[in-house]
Amino acid sequence: MHCAILVVGENPVERATNINTPMGTTDWACIGGRYTGQMPALPDATTAVVYGDSLPDFEAWVIKMMGDDAGRPTHRGDGYDQMRRVDLDIHALNAMFILDQSGELHGPGYTPDEEGLGMAVAMYRRTGLGSESLNIDEAQLRETLTRMDAKGQAWDQWVADYLTSLPGDVLITMVDVHV
């Protein structure tokens, strides 16, 4: 399973490898990767860089054997993968996790059940099936989604406050990790 981690500070790949996440311990990391282009920059940015779609050797081999239609999911965006904090459009950023300069991993605090339900709802909405296909009580679904929305809003505010508090020259990098 892959996950996007916003790493604050130098040596992002090394720092994001072999860390414990809610999904497990990371065993591989790259800048950008499946999440390349997910960092929004301010219009006058001068330090924003796109690294692109890095792959571990095994995935590169699978794509070479099966072609580009190997079913490899991607979350490419039209933004960047790395920049100094001064160039980051903090309020347009969508961060799943943040690895701060001290090495502590921060996230929105969803429970495993909420994570699973959130992923299922997102998939059903993307395919247009609707929540009735989930075979779940509508009241329970609304309650869980309301709770997740509140956690998500609190997380977004924490991210904005934290990143705003950092000096402008701090390196911020979107890292694709595998657990």
Structural domain boundaries in the chain: 2-178
- Token reading at 22: 């809610």
Q: What is the CB neighbour count within 10 angstroms for residue 29?
A: 24
Q: Which amino acid is at 66?
A: M
Distance CA 89, CA 45 (A): 9
- 5 in Cβ contact with 177 (< 8 Å): yes
> Looking at residue 128, what is its pLDDT?
58
Which run of H or E residues covers position 150?
helix 138-165
- 165 in Cβ contact with 156 (< 8 Å): no
Give backbone dihedrals phi and psi of 159, rounded to 5 degrees, phi first: -60, -50
Tell me the average confidence (pLDDT) per consecutive run of 10 residues in the chain, 179 residues long. Answer: 91 93 86 89 95 62 56 66 97 91 90 70 60 68 83 92 98 93
> Looking at residue 70, what is its pLDDT?
47
Give backbone dihedrals phi and psi of 66, rounded to 5 degrees, phi first: -105, -10
Distance CA 36, CA 52 (A): 5
